[in-house]
Structure 1
Amino acid sequence: MLKVFICEDNNTKKEKFEKMIRDIIIIENLDMEIGLSTDRPKQILDYLDNNEVSGLYFLDVDLQRQMNGINLAEKIREYDPRGFIVFVTTHAEMSYLTFMYKVEAMDYIIKDNYSNIQSRIHKCILNANKKFLSKTTELQKNFTIKVDDKIISIEFSNILFFETSQTIHKVILHGENRIIEFYSKMKDIEENLDSRFYRCHRSYLVNKDNIKEIDKNERVVHMINGEDCLVSTRAIKGLIKIMESNYVASLTYKKDSLLI
């Protein structure tokens, strides 16, 4: 998911930007949300320091703080090198600084009139969403689903397991940070995944990379986020064998690396 961040020192304008961006996300049915809206640059950096995110950042240049928007953008690049940065400011004369500090801004919007700002922000959001989906597809495998009129793309590495829903013809995706219910069949899902996923139960399809431990007696898999999924009697031996094989391979790799 692409998260949106706003850093604006004028509270009235900040609230207008929040509403404008939320409305655009709803109208366009985008898999995006506002992660943080603040007048303090440090809050943005603290958030990035504690969370791994891909972001779209709308920054004022003159923040009336020790750190201005250009400096903030430079710091953001250290945490989110592929993020999208947009400056929304009255200071047209400072646009050259974005090149000097090499922050690679997507746009530099001048606060001249509301309709212009709204139109430019709308274009930035659509452009960032398109590039984000393209980049994630290039970088790693993603599982893409349609929920109502919204297209959602989730990296394989962020999926814990799939579970059949009590609602007929529906499946529940358990991700690290979200749960999504959608229409599908386990068989169809399994065909679109890679080898890291294992059919451990008639009703469960688990990502082996996100398993914390396996309780053989209770036939339960404990995931890294504390959630559990079931393992059938038939599948548990195969799962344990695979996990043990991966563990041995990991030890061998580490040993070989040390010898090198």
Structure 2
Amino acid sequence: MQIAVCDDQEEILKQLKKMLSRFTLVRTVYCYSDPEIFLHTLQDQTYDAVLMDIDWNRKENGLDYAARLYEASPYTKVIYMTAYGMNYMEDIFLNRTNLSGFLKKPIVPEQLEKNLQKIWDERKDSGRLLIHRQGSTLAVPFRDIWYLESSLHKTRVVLKSREYFCNERLTSMMEQLDDRFVNCHKSYIVNMEYISELQGKEILLSDPMERSGSSESDVRRIPISRARNEETRKRYFAYAAERI
């Protein structure tokens, strides 16, 4: 997991980074003492979870920043931190956020780890891609998705016989997906369940139930970028080996 920690006290940032580095679930920790800088990073960076301090000596507090986080990255989970829990209990659910937990300072390592484990388990077990469009949310089962494509500042989610468009970035959509999906190109994410062949610099997709009688028109061709060729092949061969 990639974790961001937002707190205006440098000492707390150091303590939490050290604490998080001991958890096996955590791969990378980013620390921010300025929430505006953190929000700016969302243009290029994605996080699985954010530990957000509620108390800031600013016009906005952590609840406000979490709401702005939701607008930029709706699938990033938020865990609030505060030394003054009762001060915010009436407001904590008013803003639209992807709230997952609430920790009181000083942070207890065991409680923090349980919160992260909960996020990890929910992500593994969800099995559905949430697509926000036209004021509603559609939950599409992973097994039905062939691939996702970044197209004209939107993400195109392609199934066998239909497709959906949404405004989320491809990188944000990748946060929801599990290990059956591979990011083979900056503009494509492919469901490895539907790979029939790796042919040169392309991935060939087809329905496994109809593969023997598939015509060329039934096959989708997805490019593999040079930068992601080796990793894509390694991921696919490992995935295929597990299914034998």
TM-score by length of 2: 0.58
Q: Aligned letter for 1:125?
A: L
Q: Aligned letter for 1:5?
A: A
Partner of 2:238: none
Q: Aligned letter for 1:85?
A: V
Give aligned pairs, total.
166
Q: Which has the larger radius of gyration?
A: 1
- Once the two structures are superposed, what CA deviation does each residue of 1:166-194 show, in whole Å capped at 9, x if it has no partner? xxxxxxxxxx6xxxxxxxxxxxxxxx933
Identical-residue share of aligned pairs (%): 15
Given that 1:39 and 1:63 are in contact with CA atoms closer than 8 Å, whether structure 2 keeps it comes out as no
Partner of 2:30: 36
Q: Which one of the candidate residues 91, 116, 119 is aligned to 1:125?
A: 116
Specify the SS of the correspondent of 1:58. Answer: strand
Partner of 2:60: 67
Partner of 1:138: 128
Q: Aligned letter for 2:97?
A: V
Specify the SS of the correspondent of 2:27. Answer: strand
- Equivalent-residue separation in structure 2 for 1:76 and 1:8 (angstroms): 15
- Equivalent-residue separation in structure 2 for 1:43 and 1:197 (angstroms): 44
Deviation at 1:97, TM superposition (A): 1.5
Specify the SS of the correspondent of 1:134. Answer: helix
| 1:34/1:68 CA distance change after superposition, 3 Å | farther
Alignment of 1:146-165 (within 5 A): 153-159=178-184
| 1:225/1:13 CA distance change after superposition, 3 Å | farther
Specify the SS of the correspondent of 2:70. Answer: helix
| 1:193/1:101 CA distance change after superposition, 3 Å | closer
Q: Which one of the candidate residues 42, 51, 54 is aligned to 1:58?
A: 51
Specify the SS of the correspondent of 2:199. Answer: strand
Given that 2:180 and 2:193 are in contact with CA atoms closer than 8 Å, whether structure 1 keeps it comes out as no
Greater CA drift, 14-23 or 192-201 = 192-201
- Equivalent-residue separation in structure 2 for 1:159 and 1:128 (angstroms): 26
TM-score by length of 1: 0.54
Specify the SS of the correspondent of 1:132. Answer: helix
- Equivalent-residue separation in structure 2 for 1:207 and 1:129 (angstroms): 31
- Structure 2: segments with no counterpart, 5+ residues: 130-141, 146-177, 206-220, 231-244
Alignment of 1:221-240 (within 5 A): 223-224=224-225, 226-227=227-228
Partner of 1:90: 83
Specify the SS of the correspondent of 1:23. Answer: coil
Given that 2:198 and 2:204 are in contact with CA atoms closer than 8 Å, whether structure 1 keeps it comes out as no
Partner of 1:21: 20
Deviation at 1:197, TM superposition (A): 5.0
Partner of 1:7: 6
Deviation at 1:100, TM superposition (A): 1.7
Specify the SS of the correspondent of 1:19. Answer: helix
Q: Aligned letter for 1:99?
A: F
Deviation at 1:138, TM superposition (A): 2.5
| Larger helix percent | 1
| 1:60/1:194 CA distance change after superposition, 3 Å | same
Partner of 2:93: 99
- Equivalent-residue separation in structure 1 for 2:195 and 2:32 (angstroms): 39
Q: Aligned letter for 2:92?
A: T
Deviation at 1:103, TM superposition (A): 2.4
- Structure 1: segments with no counterpart, 5+ residues: 143-152, 161-175, 177-191, 212-222, 230-260
